Amino acid sequence: MLLDTFQRPVKDLRISVTDRCNFRCTYCMPLDDYDWLAKSEILTFEEITRLARLFVQLGVEKIRLTGGEPLARRDLERLVASLSAIDGLRDICLTTNGSTLAEKAAVLKAAGLRRINVSLDSLKPDRFRQITKRGDLKKVLNGLFAAKEQGFSPIKINAVIERGVNDDEIIDLVAFSREHGFAIRFIEFMDVGNANHWQSDKIVSKQEIIHTINTRFPLQEIGRKGGNAPSVDYQYVDGAGGDIGVIASITEPFCSSCTRARLTADGRLVTCLFANTGHNLKVLLRGGMTDEKLLDVLRSVWLQRKDRYSEERLAALHSATGYDPKEHKKIEMISLGG
């Protein structure tokens, strides 16, 4: 088995299929204008599928398509179909802002996609618009219900909770997900990229989120799925369906069990969400490198992997000097894929 310097295997691949997005979520893409990658810079579906097949040979079992907004990439269902045909790949998932999901749910299902994560941080139309700057809540809700109608399972809501922004909606989001049979994952506000004005006092910790939910919907902890999932999961004590969890990258880092590799839209292999650099695979692909040689490169990058950023951040947060995100230049979330 291929293991990195901390004995972690590579099991998950997150593929950013585009850096573009029709939203400007304040915690992710706070600027109005971005210099988008040129089309020629972005990996083709054939290039992505070739790399995905090689990663599966090295141990990857799950692929998540993300971005930017993955549904902004034209004909994404073609990629889903070719990834679905890879032997040994157990699971393909999509993380989307849901704004065009109502139109795409049927073709994605037909292409072989079975489960979907939809980001939804507020059920109040005005607030939703403020957070996303351009989003229309109704369209996202329509997307969620269209996915349900198509039989996607599970459908998970991802909600980033930021103090003073939407921390008063934790219970409402849980009630909504329970009512409609959606799973829900709360995400601690993270210092991704370089422009999201992250401050530690804006975090609502996992402990606080669980405490709030417990006051209305008592929970019982299940733990991390497979022992290495980012989310700590819970079930409702009253037996209601739809599971619930929290991704606590800040207060309970899970670096020691992180098995995720990331491929940027322009073909860089990145070994941590908070990395500042990646390994350029596109030049190798386009330079005519054979599969055997490419496998050697992937192996060598993973063997040298020593990222444990969130554990280091937690130690810094607890230290006398503290933690200043501005001292750590990172790749933007939109190119990395969340």
Ligand X SMILES: C[S@@+](CC[C@H](N)C(=O)[O-])C[C@H]1O[C@@H](n2cnc3c(N)ncnc32)[C@H](O)[C@@H]1O
Residues of this chain that interact with ligand X (CB under 6 A) are 21, 27-28, 66-67, 69, 95-97, 119, 158, 160, 187, 189-190, 192, 196, 333, 338
180 with 154: CB under 8 angstroms?
A: no
Residues 102-121 that bind ligand SF4 (CB under 6 A): 119
- Decide which of ligand X, ligand SF4, none touches 158; Cβ closer than 5 to 8 Å per partner kind: ligand X
- Decide which of ligand X, ligand SF4, none touches 29; Cβ closer than 5 to 8 Å per partner kind: ligand SF4
Q: Any idea what the Cα angle at residue 70 is, between residues 44 and 63, rounded to 5°?
A: 75
Number of amino acids touching ligand SF4 (CB under 6 A): 12
- Decide which of ligand SF4, ligand X, none touches 205; Cβ closer than 5 to 8 Å per partner kind: none
Task: Tell me the closest approach of the beta carbon of residue 138 to ligand X, in angstroms.
Answer: 17
Using the CB atoms, write b or e for 5-43: b if 16+ within 10 Å. Answer: eeebbbbbbbbbbbbbbebbbbbbbeeeeeeebeeeebb
Task: Tell me the closest approach of the beta carbon of residue 29 to ligand SF4, in angstroms.
Answer: 4
Residue among 13, 17, 21, 161 that touches ligand SF4 (CB under 6 A): 21
Task: Tell me the closest approach of the beta carbon of residue 149 to ligand X, in angstroms.
Answer: 20
Residue among 11, 12, 16, 23 that touches ligand SF4 (CB under 6 A): 23
Task: Tell me the closest approach of the beta carbon of residue 196 to ligand X, in angstroms.
Answer: 5
CB count in 10 Å sphere of residue 231 = 23
For residue 19, which amino acid is it? D
- Decide which of ligand SF4, ligand X, none touches 189; Cβ closer than 5 to 8 Å per partner kind: ligand X
Chain centre distance of CA 37: 20
- Decide which of ligand X, ligand SF4, none touches 24; Cβ closer than 5 to 8 Å per partner kind: ligand SF4
Using the rule CB under 6 A, is 165 a contact of ligand SF4? Answer: no
Residue among 48, 60, 67, 335 that touches ligand SF4 (CB under 6 A): 67
Residues near 33 by beta carbon (within 8 Å), at least 6 away in sequence:
none
Chain centre distance of CA 101: 17
In 52-148, at which residue ranges do the beta strands (DSSP E only) sit? 62-66, 91-96, 115-119
Closer by beta carbon to ligand SF4, 23 or else 302: 23
- Decide which of ligand X, ligand SF4, none touches 285; Cβ closer than 5 to 8 Å per partner kind: none
- Peptide bond before residue 154 is cis, with ω within 30 degrees of 0: yes
Residues near 131 by beta carbon (within 8 Å), at least 6 away in sequence:
25, 26, 27, 121, 122, 165, 166
Binding residues (CB under 6 A) for ligand SF4: these are: 21, 23-25, 28-29, 67-69, 97, 119, 334
